[in-house]
């Protein structure tokens, strides 16, 4: 796929990985609509995205609002969903609040909503990218909710890819990435990243741009669908 002249919708596109994707798509010549449910993130993104990018507010769990967004921007060629869906439960499963565990699946419901509602408005050679994470296949202590949701996202993509063809759908699975999601003092964040990545083959946190580069790969490579691309510094290896 040639990006120039295409139209792209990026959910979760005002912060972190989504914002990095928005910037790359715009630089490549796409018409980009960056969507977020956070008014604060939308306001902050205004000063860093190219002038050509349109910012809009929508909650991926609001199906009626989503349907309106897709109809207003039809037809489009690229759909990227990097929205987290909200809070994610952490800790041991056997002591976890089950409402918190269930709430972690808002990410999956947001993804399935955008794919189900958006596909009918896509061009036939369109590309969809969702974001899971390395815990999907290597669950560390306290990451059972993240792992289970990530597994569901990756399984969903493998299952639905034949039904969407000739449109393509893929997953990019980041490891520990330095994004605004980690809200802590600089010294504490540095210590956390050092501890979290110390056993990786590349012992550091990744950047949002490194993940965005992988997302651009699966968008532009017309021979890739139904697969997961890992960007994790070797975290999945023993």
In the beta sheet, which residues pair with residue 11? 35, 81
What DSSP designation does 135 have?
Answer: G
Q: Where are the domains of the chain?
A: 7-230
The confidence score (pLDDT) of residue 84 equals 86
The pTM for the full model equals 0.95
Pair 61, 113: CB distance under 8 Å: yes
* Average pLDDT of the residues of the chain: 96
Average pLDDT over residues 149-175: 98
Pair 197, 204: CB distance under 8 Å: yes
Domain 7-230, classified CATH 3.40.50.720, yes or no: yes
State the DSSP string of 196-220. HHTTSSS-S-EEHHHHHHHHHHHHH
The confidence score (pLDDT) of residue 65 equals 97
Residues 6+ away with beta carbon under 8 Å from 135: 143, 146, 147, 150
Q: Residue written as tokens 């999907």? A: 136
Asked if residue 149 has pLDDT above 90, the reply is yes
């Amino acid at each position: 796929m040639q990006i120039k002249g295409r139209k792209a919708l990026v959910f979760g596109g005002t912060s972190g990985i989504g914002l990095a994707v928005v910037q790359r798509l715009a630089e490549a010549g796409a018409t980009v609509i960056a969507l977020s449910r956070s008014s604060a993130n939308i306001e902050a993104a205004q000063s860093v995205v190219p002038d050509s990018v349109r910012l809009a507010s929508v909650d991926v769990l609001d199906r009626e609002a989503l349907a309106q967004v897709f109809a207003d921007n039809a037809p489009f060629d690229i759909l990227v969903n990097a929205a987290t869906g909200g809070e994610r439960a952490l800790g041991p499963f056997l002591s976890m609040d089950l409402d918190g565990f269930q709430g972690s699946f808002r990410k999956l419901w947001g993804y399935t909503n955008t794919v189900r509602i958006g596909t009918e408005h896509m061009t036939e050679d369109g590309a969809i990218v969702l974001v899971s994470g390395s815990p999907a296949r290597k669950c560390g202590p306290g990451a059972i909710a993240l792992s289970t949701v990530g597994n569901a996202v990756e399984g969903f993509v493998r299952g639905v890819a034949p039904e969407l063809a000739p449109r393509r759908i893929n997953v990019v699975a980041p490891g520990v990435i330095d994004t605004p999601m980690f809200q802590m003092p600089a010294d504490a964040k540095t210590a956390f990243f050092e501890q979290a990545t110390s056993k990786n083959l590349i012992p550091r946190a990744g950047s949002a741009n490194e993940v965005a580069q992988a997302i651009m790969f699966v968008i532009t490579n017309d021979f890739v669908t139904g697969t997961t691309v890992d960007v994790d510094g070797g975290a999945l290896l023993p």
